[in-house]
Chain A
Amino acid sequence: MTGNGGNSMGETALDAASQLVGVVSRTLEPLFAQLDRISQAAVALAELEPRQLATADLASLDEVTQQSLLQAMPLLHGAGFVADVDLLSDAPRGIRWWVTGPDGTVARGRHLVDLTRPDHYEYVDLEWFTGPKAGESRCVFGPYVDYGGTNDYSITLSVPAQLGGRFLGVAAADLALERVEQVLGPALQRVPGTAVIANAEGQVVLSASPAYVVGSILPALDESARIPCPAIPWSVCVTS
């Protein structure tokens, strides 16, 4: 998917690609706003509580998480707070999670985080956790097969919860891929030539070309064919 020299994109392709970048921003920014709310609630909780937090304390994040999920409803199908290893006094791991049901309601999602169980869900090495922990202000991880979870094909968004210099954990949410395709698909289709949305690693997130399937790694691209989305680690990649 290389361009033809310096002027790889025509005017119309560039316009259409810029419009697509706008649609990406308008779609994802409100979701990150909801994640920021959850993150801020977690920070406030840690700030107000004089003693070290325990697993049960995370229940006070439920209201804001439910509201966030309801507001971002068709695009997010799960959201919550995931604790760093030393945050909680009574357990080395902690997840407070809510999921949306098919009827538009929200319900508790449960993760087995008891390290003594052989089938526990281990998240500390997963990119949506390590990214924000290492200082990424916004993480969009995936698409990936969540084989430790329900084996869904998923994209996880996350932001750090930071109190002063201390990392408390992440506010995270799962994107419903089919909804993302419904929302971004039309703008993607309008780009002349071949257009895909790729993640920070150059992996295809959404494609309007049978040659570049979702999940595959794009070949090295001419920089002029890649338009980064502002504040979101995705790019629109176009070739005439």
Chain B
Amino acid sequence: MTSDAHEIQEPTRQAVFGALGTASTASAITQRLRTAIGLGLLADGERLPREYDLAEQFGVTAFSLREALSALREQGLIETKRGRTGGSFVRRPANLFQSVATEQLLQLSGAALRDVSDWGWTLLSATAHHGALRASRGNIQRLHEYSRGIGDAPDGATATGVSGRFHVELAAATQSVRISAAQIAYQAEFGWLHALLLEDDAERARLAADAVAITRAVEARDPGAARQVAEASSEASMHRILELRLEHIAPYVEDQQ
């Protein structure tokens, strides 16, 4: 219960707001912020840093920044209020996620996706194992609640929120600060991949059942069983994500011809 929390997505935030490098144009800023909003890296209602600070962080002129913000405003992705409590606030339309996430999926190579999935596999397997040995009653109670919540969620976005909490709770159950920090960073950076799966009803049912099975193994203090479910679940997720990418690449390749 220590203080000054809530900057848990720091590395992701640096990626969102970091200097642009080469093409320092307004459209590059617009694109990056649109992606961050669409993937949920910037939350609905979140206030963007001040224009002056943003321009400095992106390494662009105030003029380019204003042009970018105005484009985002036209797309309905931010809303700017005047006055003391004013600023630019994120507005995240419900239908933005799917298109932005699909674009992102196509930008990652098959090797990069496998690499990300391997890291997710490692984290889930390790958290399931140590969690089974160390989870407190409170951890287990919340794991039950979140794993049920994934299955009960009315839509992909709700399921994604609960699923993120499930993963972080399992990581906290390991009693390891480093593993927890790694899982929080992973969820912040790649939670959208999971979200893409959770948009699909069958996948949501599978992931909910896996979360329930991991929770039961943790409660039974059976690290082997917990790990086994976790690993099989991650492998099925990677398979489906690679499959999704190929499905989207096919029409894209045809368009190019």
- Chain A contact residues, CB within 8 Å of chain B: 77-78, 82, 97, 99, 109-112, 116-121, 123, 125-128, 143-154, 156, 172, 174, 201, 203, 214-217
Cross-chain contact B3 with A149 (CB below 8 angstroms):
yes
Question: A199 — nearest CB in chain B belongs to which residue?
Answer: B136
Cross-chain contact A217 with B134 (CB below 8 angstroms):
yes
Cross-chain contact A118 with B45 (CB below 8 angstroms):
yes
Q: A118-B44, A118-B45 are in contact. Are A150 and B2 (CB under 8 A)?
A: yes
Residues of A within 8 A of B134 (CB): 203, 215-217
Cross-chain contact B177 with A152 (CB below 8 angstroms):
yes
Chain A nearest CB, measured from B128 CB (Å): 15
B255 within 8 A of A: no
Number of A-B residue pairs, CB cutoff 8 Å, is 97
- Kindly identify which residue among A147, A156, A201, A203 contacts B168, using a CB–CB cutoff of 8 Å: A147
- A109-B4, A148-B5, A201-B136 known; 8 other A-B pairs, CB under 8 Å? A119-B8, A120-B6, A127-B138, A145-B174, A145-B176, A146-B2, A149-B1, A216-B175
Give 1 or 0 for each of B1-24: 1 = CB within 8 Å of chain A CB: 111111010000000000000000
The prevalent SS among residues of A at the interface is: loop
A99 to B174, CA, bound (A): 26
Residues of B within 8 A of A148 (CB): 5
Cross-chain contact A154 with B45 (CB below 8 angstroms):
no
A119 to B184, CA, bound (A): 13
- Chain B contact residues, CB within 8 Å of chain A: 1-6, 8, 43-46, 133-138, 142, 168, 171-172, 174-177, 180-181, 184, 221
**19 CB < 8 A contacts A-B:** A99-B3, A110-B3, A112-B5, A118-B46, A119-B5, A120-B6, A127-B136, A127-B138, A145-B172, A145-B176, A147-B8, A149-B1, A149-B3, A149-B5, A150-B3, A151-B180, A152-B177, A201-B136, A201-B137
Cross-chain contact A214 with B175 (CB below 8 angstroms):
yes
- Kindly identify which residue among B5, B45, B137, B180 contacts A145, using a CB–CB cutoff of 8 Å: B180
Q: A118-B44, A118-B46 are in contact. Are A111 and B175 (CB under 8 A)?
A: no
Q: A116-B45, A203-B134 are in contact. Are A153 and B175 (CB under 8 A)?
A: yes
Question: B168 — nearest CB in chain A belongs to which residue?
Answer: A147
Residue of A126, A128, A147, A149 contacting most chain B CB atoms (<10 Å): A147
- Kindly identify which residue among B45, B46, B136, B180 contacts A203, using a CB–CB cutoff of 8 Å: B136
A77 to B175, CA, bound (A): 20
The prevalent SS among residues of B at the interface is: loop
Residue of A126, A143, A151 contacting most chain B CB atoms (<10 Å): A151
Cross-chain contact B171 with A147 (CB below 8 angstroms):
yes
Cross-chain contact B1 with A147 (CB below 8 angstroms):
no
Cross-chain contact A174 with B2 (CB below 8 angstroms):
yes
A229 to B1, CA, bound (A): 24
Chain A nearest CB, measured from B40 CB (Å): 10
Residues of A within 8 A of B6 (CB): 112, 119-121
Chain B nearest CB, measured from A112 CB (Å): 5
Cross-chain contact B4 with A143 (CB below 8 angstroms):
no
Residues of A within 8 A of B46 (CB): 118
A120 to B45, CA, bound (A): 13
Cross-chain contact B3 with A97 (CB below 8 angstroms):
yes
Residues of B within 8 A of A147 (CB): 8, 168, 171-172, 180, 184
Residues of B within 8 A of A149 (CB): 1-3, 5
Chain A nearest CB, measured from B17 CB (Å): 16
A134 to B181, CA, bound (A): 31
Chain A nearest CB, measured from B153 CB (Å): 17
Residues of A within 8 A of B136 (CB): 127, 144, 201, 203
